[in-house]
Structure 1
């Protein structure tokens, strides 16, 4: 059984090499066979003639096969050893070439001992297949700097490292390409894989059987076979994930949810009237109305809501979320509103309080009660609030990760709202959802980060989009300037117009890197460029109370220029702040830049985002170019996915390496759609029940069982 057979049992592995393989996540024979190459190199022999040989470019890599004529070692300067082998190629006409190896000499052993053993046996004709780059050095015979080679006794021997399409792997130190390649090659000759996908599906989609696919993904005989193998492997990835997702969905829809609602309008109608008194010319936008209808439909359903709400920064997501909260509250339930930072939790608390205070709730015969639960509360305050939450006295609880502490017990939590999910770990959100049997879940984000976009692609979260900005809002104008020559002219003009400014830096204080820091620039610029204005500073190392005091002064106009790190990245709402200057913009990710830009443009005033930097990499140039060209969150998310890749769909990692490449998501969309359909038929419609599906589901559980409970978290 290759799924449980330890890698240490394979020839040439042993305990030491097994420990190196473990670093690559390879523990079993199956792990080894599914450790796929990062690329395939075409090392098939180059059949060139003598006339073509003269013009070979120095950048060209070729494969040659020849008979060994002579081999010798030369010692060059700086203790560099050179091993040269003169061969006669098997082409017609034949060509004489020199193969060259360079290695640093070692006093303890002969660095060329393996080559000598292979090539210098007397009386036996030797053939060599070599792959490498043609040297620029012009000698008597053309030289090739060898990257890989094989010595063979006869021309009928199978080739592994040369003269074929050759796999290249991502490996750790202490494991060579040659040894690993031979290990995979010999394992494939010894073991076969058991088929687990129903034969009807394989036949209909014209897919290779799994053994052929794995063999040809590592050692394809042709490019066509490699592409067919890739298609089968990608299809399997999609199918297994879709089966897992559908199992989770089936589990969710089979359980009753907490909330049973009806639209009473005892709170919703007064709330709309309140908004009209708070916001001049207020009315819900067309897409806000559409989204509210979608969310209410979900909440009125007997199945739990699991929805992602995407909307541009400043589009009015919070107002939509409050509508959902009030639907829950007017039916006698509690709502948890979770924010990623204390600053944002405070802001949400005051905004929600401002929206709903004095709204009378007939179900409880009292006004709607909102409370905030944050980490800095005294023990007495916290205990009192926890009692009010568990007794049901509090209707809407706003907080950070403090909401998911074990001590927090809700009375009848029916709705969980999570704002700006990319600042909140998956496991943290999962803990909160577990405090209620099956609450409705609403996740809000201004930029659909890679993990969310991936979840959307795979259909676990339903999606709602707010596409238009509130009436009167203007698109933020974005500019890029060299950080060393910027003159601050536009910024000073806006300050003279009684508007406010953010100045953002990536690092707080001293650094060995040649970049401007928050503290240093605050001290300098507040005394020079901004000497006529009140300046403040804000960063993550400050205590919560200090941060709140600074934000309060900024909102009230006692501070006009706020120097900050990215603590202002998410959700901060100061309508008369119209300029954000982002220093060293090349050091920020796309999602961060988009979020930071969203701190301005929150009123009818024209706003500006000024990016200052020094572009040193193509990736940074691509990020800056994207931010300058578009304000569209979906386009930014697509580029972000391209650059960073989706996080593990079921796992707890938000970004980075994943089993799905952007290439697979983009270029195999048709396979994804088919895999979705097959998974739905297998799980919900019981198709293929005449085939043995036990191996297929065994595969699903072995891959995703640990993560199943995470899949619906968002």
Structure 2
């Protein structure tokens, strides 16, 4: 970039290529960092800051965790065999040896005579002080070094730290003062927050540690507030518009309860009592039902839907895939057929779609199970009273919102077997009331979980053979469908199934996402009918698959899966009254992977695993926040910053209650800010 380069005209939404020195290739590398506009560049927060406030002369260098020095390269030598670059640095008072690993590209940047500033760890090697793989800042003639609390940014492709630091040093001071501040002054004053423009500037280039913390406090509050406001808007119901009152004491509800071959567990009973109270009120229900795999959420969902049928309304049950929708329909059909309640399956490939559409519109079809096909424009309901969304984490806000538009504020029950730590549930689900089914049905036992290395994988497959000999069934889950893994070693379902078919004594089935819907349904039907002993599959069996005779689960390369996935996979076995085992085959290559496997062996409760997931991975990716239609956390941490999360949520609740349409002049920027977060999340008719 040229010294003193100017950008005569620009806007925050201008593409990053508007800035001199950034062409299409570099723009693509920035895109990998989520940076497309100049505004995005301002929000590319540093991972951390290195303290370069003290420059140490080379004749005073000593062993230390971190030290900053400046000098001129006297010599550079690259060892191609060992892939080590060694340079000798001098400042006229002393010299320092410096080594870089796997950094051949640096040789071009560090020729003899190049002036540099280095920050890194200093060790004593062979009686001389050596700086090991430091951060490098190359200086042009007369250019002052970047000192103080220096930002260290995430990188992509050929973008180097020095380039990004120099770019930010030009861009941030120029653009930060023009950052709009959407948060009303009264709120800023109440919580002693600095202005947003200041916060942006100081997050990149803080004059001191106190202002860095003040910057983080403001930006963390903003992240929480923006998401909390977005969620409040999505779930806000006009108090003047009445919902539908259901009938949880109706004849169908009573007949269903009487037909059950078991009593509701205390956990189910408690959840149902809470839901009954919601259904009796004209205020639309918005409830999240959490419960571990096998805890009996489906029975509670059926009760909720029958309460709508008893009130003369319709109910819709939405599952994330055709396979799961078909399985849930089979469960519902088995329960409801004896009661005389028609229940149709509506997915993208059903032959009876036209008849089902007409029956739904006329009101003669009380209950339907489907996928996202239920939110297609052509699907109409006569009087939709209850919506049940299964495995909520598979749906974005956009899909749920569209489905709710099919009725006049229907009661909504959102179910998940992937429990969410309450700190995150507060933010992601806003004002959804949360119920939890605790405990397992009578006779159900926790699944024994065993971690084995690849060297000992025979232990897992011996357990599979023994289960088959007992007349039981098993799953084997692989991370890949077919072919070689670029990183080497991962098992592919197709290849493993072929190999297992050559071994006599068991009947092998194969299931993966690339199969046609008809083939997938046929394989699952054969597995349920015990025409298949061992089902080799990908994570397509992660949720919803219910075969009580399956007692062994083997997960190949288990370190490649997240905790939520592993917990869901484990939940496919132990669904009957027989003891069950889950074998996790892995040689974990990272500390995070080791911790995940240890947590799976140690804990069986989903909520405990969710908390461990939050601790291990941090908040950025937990729950797949972008699936909810809103950006995940960048600086904020719901555990560390719980107090600010709660404060921001209280502010959001009050703001939306006092000014639901953001009509006050001081809320104009705030509404645009929230709109930006919601643009891709909501149907347009919700926002306008």
1:178 and 2:166 correspond: no
Separation of aligned partners in 1, 2:154 and 2:274: 46
Structure 1 residues 436 and 647 mapped into 2: Cα distance closer, same or farther (>3 Å)?
A: farther
**Which residue, 232, 242, 247 being the options, matches 1:262?**
247
Name 1:433's counterpart in structure 2. 404
Separation of aligned partners in 2, 1:624 and 1:501: 20
Q: Is contact 2:17–2:24 with CA below 8 Å preserved after alignment? A: no
CA-based RMSD: 4.1
1:273 and 2:247 correspond: no
1:166 and 2:154 correspond: no
Q: Secondary structure at the match of 1:463?
A: strand
In structure 1, runs of 5+ residues without a counterpart are 89-94, 120-127, 360-366
Separation of aligned partners in 2, 1:315 and 1:232: 41
**Which residue, 304, 315, 334 being the options, matches 1:324?**
304
Q: Is contact 2:557–2:585 with CA below 8 Å preserved after alignment? A: yes
**Which residue, 42, 46, 50 being the options, matches 1:37?**
46
Q: Displacement, 1:498?
A: 2.9
Q: Is contact 1:372–1:399 with CA below 8 Å preserved after alignment? A: yes
Q: Secondary structure at the match of 2:639?
A: helix
Which whole-Å deviations, capped at 9, do the CAs of 1:608-661 have from their partners, x for residues lacking one?
212223333323222211111111111222233442745699975369x95414
Q: Displacement, 1:558?
A: 3.5
Which whole-Å deviations, capped at 9, do the CAs of 1:17-54 have from their partners, x for residues lacking one?
9946863555665444333212211122255795x64x
Structure 1 residues 387 and 646 mapped into 2: Cα distance closer, same or farther (>3 Å)?
A: farther
Separation of aligned partners in 1, 2:369 and 2:605: 29
Q: TM-score, normalised by structure 2?
A: 0.83
Structure of higher CA gyration radius: 1
Q: Is contact 2:183–2:670 with CA below 8 Å preserved after alignment? A: yes
Which whole-Å deviations, capped at 9, do the CAs of 1:184-234 have from their partners, x for residues lacking one?
334454452555434443333333233432232111222232122111110
Q: Secondary structure at the match of 2:344?
A: strand
Q: Is contact 2:314–2:367 with CA below 8 Å preserved after alignment? A: yes
Separation of aligned partners in 1, 2:26 and 2:532: 61
Name 2:331's counterpart in structure 1. 351
1:230 and 2:216 correspond: yes
Name 1:594's counterpart in structure 2. 567
1:446 and 2:417 correspond: yes
Which whole-Å deviations, capped at 9, do the CAs of 1:568-622 have from their partners, x for residues lacking one?
2211222222222222222322222111111112222222212223333323222
- Higher mean alpha-carbon deviation, 482-491 vs 232-241, is at 482-491
Structure 1 residues 33 and 347 mapped into 2: Cα distance closer, same or farther (>3 Å)?
A: closer
- Higher mean alpha-carbon deviation, 391-400 vs 12-21, is at 12-21
Q: Secondary structure at the match of 1:469?
A: coil
1:338 and 2:312 correspond: no
1:394 and 2:359 correspond: no
**Which residue, 83, 97, 101 being the options, matches 2:95?**
97
Q: Is contact 1:426–1:710 with CA below 8 Å preserved after alignment? A: no
Q: Secondary structure at the match of 1:347?
A: helix
**Which residue, 700, 710, 713 being the options, matches 2:674?**
700
**Which residue, 38, 55, 63 being the options, matches 1:56?**
63
Separation of aligned partners in 2, 1:433 and 1:690: 28
Name 1:603's counterpart in structure 2. 576
Separation of aligned partners in 2, 1:152 and 1:334: 73
In structure 2, runs of 5+ residues without a counterpart are 1-8
**Count of equivalent residues:** 666
Name 1:585's counterpart in structure 2. 558
**Which residue, 470, 488, 501 being the options, matches 2:474?**
501
Listed as ranges, the matches of 1:9-48 within 5 Å are 12=20, 19=27, 23=31, 24=33, 26=35, 30-47=39-56
Separation of aligned partners in 1, 2:140 and 2:269: 74
Q: Secondary structure at the match of 1:684?
A: helix
Name 2:136's counterpart in structure 1. 148
Structure 1 residues 573 and 43 mapped into 2: Cα distance closer, same or farther (>3 Å)?
A: same
Q: TM-score, normalised by structure 1?
A: 0.81
Q: Secondary structure at the match of 2:681?
A: helix
Q: Displacement, 1:667?
A: 0.7
Separation of aligned partners in 2, 1:394 and 1:304: 22
Which whole-Å deviations, capped at 9, do the CAs of 1:468-505 have from their partners, x for residues lacking one?
21122111111122334324444444334333222333
Q: Displacement, 1:87?
A: 1.4
Structure 1 residues 8 and 546 mapped into 2: Cα distance closer, same or farther (>3 Å)?
A: closer
